[in-house]
A and B are shown apart, each in its own frame.
Chain A
Amino acid sequence: MNLRALQDIVHQTREFRCTQTIPKLTVAEREKLIRQYHPDYREQAYQTIRFGPNAGDRTVRELAMLLEGDSPIPADFPLTPDYTVDVLVIGGGGAGCAAALHAHAQGAHVLLATKLRLADSNSIMAQGGMQVAVAPDDSPIQHFLDTLRGGHMKNDHQLLKVMVEEGPLITKWLIELGVLFDRSPDGNLQVKTGGGSSRARLLTCSDYTGLEIMRVLKDEVLNQNIHVLEFAAAVELLSDEEGTCTGAILRDLDNKRFIVVAAKAVILATGGIGRLHIQGFPTSNHYGATGDGLALAYRIGAPLVEIDTFQYHPSGAVYPEQLVGALVTEGIRSEGGHLVNAKGERFVNELDTRDVVSSSIIRECQEGRGVRTASGRVGVWLDTPLLELEHGQGTLDKHFPAMVRQYERFGVDIRKEPVLIYPTLHYQNGGVKIDVNSETPVRNLFVAGEASGGLHGRNRLMGNSLLDLMVFGRRAGLAAAARAKMIAQGKLSLAHLERFRAEARKHGVSNQVISPAILPAYTKTS
């Protein structure tokens, strides 16, 4: 049967579904559902890391291979610096830009190196918004509690307190730079409801929040004349005799040459991991999301936290083929869009946390209540036309112009047709362990943004990442600049790499994987 015919049931059952209220699951029900269906609990996808700071911990195979992988840098590599700076920022997404701008504002000499172009990142794609407790009926503490419950109580309390408390301040900074958040008629910031949150707390720039923020931040980095190296991927960090971080080696992707950077402080802001296609999942992530920062930090001795848990965003596109994996914004569910199985039934409270919603979609599909496309993919319906009926014609155009365009390009009119979705690999919940100043246990090595871990516990709440990037990007920038003022440039060596290679040999690891991955290998070779 063709997809259009299968859609009929969505239209037929709409009226009835609107009379239903589906309760959120209790804590016990949630745990049960997740254990049974969430990809984080598929044993065979995991392996134990054999050596290094997280020896004995479990993570997904794709990541373990890269953590145990070898550096492209030979032991006798000449370490004459091409650049000597106060602060080296690696990564040009939201966290990297925020860090570079704040370090620069403190008078530090900053170099920002990034793998693709400045701002080509996950950050630019954020559609749903940024959570900040600004509304009168809300408070930082309420934000703290919501996030903690979403994160299965595993969030680092100190990091989380910092994030929720500095949210309003960093929002003010963005507004002063010219970011145009949506406003309510009284001139205040408009807040929307996000999955897992007890208050309306999402700040948005229609459904182009990340794009608007990144356009402004990129423009500002250029206005501040911060030195930017594009198509320069970090492939190794440098350390001195005490093991503190003293710089990095980059690879120029245009001419394949290595670039040595001496820096008093290094900020890793390399983002996520989606392009490793963990467990074969499609992904919503950008081209460069290959977890490079995790591998680099790991080799120099920085421990990682919560790297056994990943976020599979409930609504990845399943159809048309060209969109597979692409994100369908959560905003649709926030505004009342139903999730509907092949029998026309709702099966979960659409505003439950992401892990719950994803698990329930996987359950529906595994138990035969999914809808299959011609190319063999399976998914459930997201009832987009409902929004037009509930909130008036033009709602989708007004609130979700990016999504309307996204589908229009391929001849699908989401105002009239529901869309098919299935979870897509979206976010790395954990990452490099940091303190409240974004510093890792390896001195002078800072990590900010998605590459860091602890803040989000075992499941990140929608909209908390953009806030994380800004708050900890800022903190990393400020702390790195302050550190650079206090210390002299340390010696450049590969001592940590020597230790790492010795460990690898001791454990008989020679898997030939060169890490970091830098880009996914999509080019068909034959």
Chain B
Amino acid sequence: MPRCETNMDTTETFQKDWALEQEDTLHPPMVTVEIAGKVYQVPAGITLLKALWYTGHEVIRGAGCLGGFCGACATYYRTKDDPKVKTCLACSFAVEDGMAFSFAPPFPARKAIYQISELQDPKQDLFELYPEAPMCRNCNACTEACPQSIDVREGVWRAVFGDFKSVSDMFMNCVMCGLCAPVCIADIAPNLVAIYASRVQGAHFTEKPKDIEARIKAIEEGQYEKDWERILRMSDEELQQATVSCP
């Protein structure tokens, strides 16, 4: 019993959040969807994830942030009469009539292990860590698989050419769903190549901000101690009014 099924309050309150129980959506139009091969009727317009709950599925793997940021709900779907299977994030994508979908299973891609601060020549090290990266055959399947519309193929090439800055910009919205990896005919896990390049860009190729060093030094040297003494002795009323001069 890992869930709070007995907790009526919680269940009830959820009902209020449950879009379908709203006044004029009491009888929402229903659509037909196929979930992992079975056909169900679900209210139009709800997310794929809510459709799973609605049809009685218990979801443990397959849900995470519920906000489109974590990639846990990576899903394959196909719309009516279209042969193309596409991908989406089930927590942030709406059902439509005739849609078929199922969760993408976890994919055991290989992640290279490295010590970020010890990398001597990170652009060259990429080829040691991910020797498959330059083997990209331009099939573009990764780009087509990406629910975040990242130009993944281009990103892999930029990483290979050492343009880590572009990679870090291009993959800023990568939710690490991993959907780009199983499709790769060269066994590249583009998202893992990208996070490497992006971290390297931050740790090795971006100027260290001077302000922060100055502030750390000021704190360590006790520049604020006098003010702290004054401030920490104050009453709430005094604190409400207090001002400090910034160095």
Contact = CB atoms under 8 A, between A and B. Distances in A.
A415 B5 CA distance: 42
B27 to A, nearest CB: 12
Contact of A223 (B24, B115, B213, B246): B115
A117 B72 contact: yes
Given A72-B1, A290-B4, A524-B53, A215 B244 contact: no
Interface in B201-247: 201-203, 206-213, 215-216, 219, 224, 227-228, 231-232, 236, 239-240, 242, 244, 246-247
B70 A222 contact: no
A517 interface: yes
A367 to B, nearest CB: 21
18 contacts: A66-B4, A116-B64, A116-B72, A122-B65, A136-B211, A137-B246, A139-B244, A153-B239, A183-B209, A215-B174, A219-B195, A223-B116, A285-B66, A286-B64, A374-B24, A376-B22, A513-B7, A523-B53
A347 interface: no
A290 B63 CA distance: 14
Given A168-B215, A322-B19, A523-B53, 18 more contacts: A62-B10, A65-B9, A125-B70, A135-B211, A145-B242, A161-B228, A171-B212, A172-B216, A175-B203, A215-B195, A215-B198, A225-B113, A278-B13, A280-B16, A287-B65, A290-B4, A375-B19, A402-B68
A208 B23 contact: no
Contacts of A277: 10, 13-14, 16-17
A145 B117 contact: no
B54 A216 contact: no
Contacts of A211: 69, 172-173, 175
Nearest to A64: B9
Nearest to B223: A139
Interface residues of B, number: 88
Contact of A120 (B3, B70, B232): B70
Nearest to B245: A139
B209 A521 contact: no
Given A119-B70, A139-B244, A219-B199, A189 B212 contact: yes
Nearest to A324: B19
Interface stretch (A2-10, A350-358, A405-413): A405-413
Contact of A62 (B9, B57, B198, B207): B9
Contacts of A405: 68, 148, 173
A436 interface: no
A279 B13 contact: yes
B93 interface: yes
B32 interface: no
A141 B3 contact: no
Contacts of A175: 202-203, 206, 208-209, 212
Interface string A260-300: 00000000000000001111111111111010000000000
Interface string B97-130: 0000000000000010111110000000000000
**Max chain B C-beta neighbours (<10 A), residue from A142, A231, A515:** A142
Contact of A520 (B10, B22, B57, B92): B10
Interface in A246-260: 251, 253-254, 256
Contacts of A285: 66
B77 to A, nearest CB: 13
Contact of B224 (A69, A140, A208): A140
A27 interface: yes
Given A124-B65, A169-B216, A216 B199 contact: yes
A433 B23 CA distance: 42
A148 interface: yes
Given A180-B202, A188-B210, A231-B61, A141 B70 contact: no
For the complex of A and B, the 8 pairs showing the least CB-CB separation, nearest first, are A178-B199, A120-B64, A178-B202, A517-B4, A178-B203, A280-B16, A277-B13, A376-B23
Nearest to A152: B236
A518 interface: yes
A134 interface: yes
A522 B247 contact: no
Contacts of B17: 277, 280-283, 324-325
Contacts of B224: 139-141, 165
A318 to B, nearest CB: 11
Contact of B173 (A134, A223, A402): A402
A25 interface: no
Interface string A44-73: 000000000000000001100110010010
A12 to B, nearest CB: 28
Contacts of A113: none
A525 B56 contact: yes
A192 interface: no
B86 to A, nearest CB: 13
A210 interface: yes
A518 B173 CA distance: 29
B140 interface: no
A377 interface: yes
A286 B65 contact: yes
Contact of A27 (B92, B148, B240, B242): B240
Given A215-B174, A223-B116, A513 B24 contact: no
Contact of B199 (A137, A177, A515): A177
B58 interface: yes
Contacts of B186: none
A327 interface: yes
Interface in A167-186: 168-169, 171-172, 175-180, 183
B92 to A, nearest CB: 6
Nearest to A174: B202
Nearest to A375: B22
A350 B216 CA distance: 32
A139 B246 contact: yes
A477 to B, nearest CB: 18
Nearest to B12: A280
A31 interface: no
Nearest to A253: B60
B47 interface: yes
A168 B219 contact: yes
A121 B93 CA distance: 20
Contacts of B240: 27, 149, 153
B35 interface: no
Contacts of A208: 69, 172-173
A139 B247 contact: yes
B173 A140 contact: no
B188 to A, nearest CB: 17
Contact of A134 (B47, B94, B209, B236): B209
